[in-house]
């Protein structure tokens, strides 16, 4: 049994890391840049960010491979470097993380729309995920995290590609939901119940939500997942909904805001609690402290 599975099955709540895009933009990358290209050109930046999150207490450190599918990389003329870029994402942080945290191989959406609504065939998308995930597994990630998905079919293809690549690799699958008067739905109309059923059938070990919402809405989502998921859950909240302040995005929720809901999430059975857009090491440090305090208080 992998270290990740063993810890989850024992009932431990793991602390995820925070946003990588936010950290990279603070170091000079701009919207529209290929964030994954720096895996090859500036790997020391990735090691620096990983160190900050390890020091903050994260149990899981994410690879800088969110946009590492060939369909996504093609927009930057980098599709032929898919394997090289994804392997480099892992290698850049291995020395920092080794023995201190687990490495989570990030797999995000391709940026393409499947037929018949778009122009991308399922087998092309599946092959792209297979190339990306295969490279991540080859170099030694501890788990695969398929995240920020809005199209359930795309998420299913990614989970199945990971499971074909490895019958044993732990797989997290998270989707992004919007709160509506009728409940929670992805932009493609998927409900929490549908996501839980399809993703678990495809081979996901953990399911949940990341991005798109602040911690209060995520706590509501966690309650919805607890009603439908048959596997452990993951919640990775934004630091609130970004606001435009003088042309710059500002995320309103601080570390204490997020930490205040950790006990509730743990009581709902959430197995991994981390951060998404707008969160940084201070948010993760607060989540880590809140996890440890709640565990002590309830043991």
Where residue 183 sits, what CATH number does that domain have? 3.20.20.330
Segment 123-148, tens digit of pLDDT:
999 999 999 999 999 999 999 999 99
Number of independent structural domains in the chain:
1
pTM of the predicted model, to two decimals?
0.96
Q: How far apart are CA 18 and CA 78, in angstroms?
A: 26
Instruction: Look at residue 50 in the predicted model and tell me its pLDDT.
Output: 98
3-state SS, 70-82, equals HHHHHHHCCHHHH
Arithmetic mean of pLDDT over the chain: 96
**What does residue 135 show for φ and ψ, rounded to 5 degrees?**
-65, -40
**Residue-number span of the structural domain to which 7 is assigned:** 3-298
The mean per-residue pLDDT over the stretch 105-119 comes to 96
Q: What is the DSSP letter of 118?
A: S
Average pLDDT over residues 280-288: 98
Confidence of residue 9 (pLDDT cuts 50, 70, 90): very high
Q: In the predicted model, what is the mean pLDDT of residues 254-266? A: 98
The residues that bridge with 180 in the sheet, in sequence order, are: 183
At 32 the pLDDT is: 82
Cis peptide before 260 (omega within 30 of 0): no
What is the distance of C-alpha 57 from the center of its chain?
A: 17
Q: How far is CA 1 from the centre of its chain?
A: 22
- CB atoms closer than 10 angstroms to residue 106: 25
**Local confidence band at 1 (pLDDT 50, 70, 90 cut-offs):** low
- Element holding 217 (H helix, E strand): helix 215-228
Q: Find, among 110, 126, 289, 150, the residue nearest to 202 by Cα.
A: 126
- How much is the pLDDT for 80? 98
* Cα separation, 149 vs 158, whole angstroms: 10
Angle at the Cα of 221 from the Cα atoms of 278 and 64, rounded to 5 degrees: 35
């Amino acid at each position: 049994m992998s270290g990740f599975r063993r810890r989850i099955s024992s009932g431990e709540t793991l602390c995820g890391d925070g946003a990588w895009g936010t950290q990279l933009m603070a170091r000079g990358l701009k919207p529209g840049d290929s964030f994954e290209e720096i895996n090859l050109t500036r790997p020391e930046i990735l090691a620096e960010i990983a160190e900050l999150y390890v020091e903050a207490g994260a149990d899981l450190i994410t690879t800088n491979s969110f946009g590492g599918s060939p369909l996504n990389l093609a927009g930057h003329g980098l599709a032929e470097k898919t394997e090289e870029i994804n392997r480099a994402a892992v290698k850049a942080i291995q020395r920092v993380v080794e023995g201190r945290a687990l490495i989570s191989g990030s797999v995000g959406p391709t940026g393409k729309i499947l037929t018949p609504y778009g122009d991308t065939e399922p087998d092309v998308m599946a092959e792209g995920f297979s190339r990306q995930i295969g490279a991540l597994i080859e170099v030694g990630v501890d788990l695969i995290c398929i995240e920020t998905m809005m199209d359930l079919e795309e998420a299913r293809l990614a989970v199945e590609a990971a499971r074909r690549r490895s019958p044993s690799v732990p797989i997290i699958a998270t989707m992004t939901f919007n709160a509506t008067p009728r409940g929670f739905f992805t932009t493609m109309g998927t409900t929490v119940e549908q996501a839980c059923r399809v993703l678990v059938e495809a081979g996901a070990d953990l399911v949940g939500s990341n991005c798109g919402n602040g911690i209060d809405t995520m706590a509501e989502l966690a309650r919805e997942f607890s009603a439908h998921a048959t596997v452990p859950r993951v919640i990775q909240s934004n630091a609130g909904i970004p606001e435009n302040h003088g042309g710059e995005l500002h995320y309103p929720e601080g570390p204490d805001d997020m930490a205040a809901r950790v006990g509730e999430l743990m009581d709902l059975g959430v197995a991994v609690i981390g951060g998404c857009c707008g969160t940084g090491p201070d948010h993760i440090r607060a989540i880590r402290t809140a996890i440890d305090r709640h565990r002590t208080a309830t043991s």
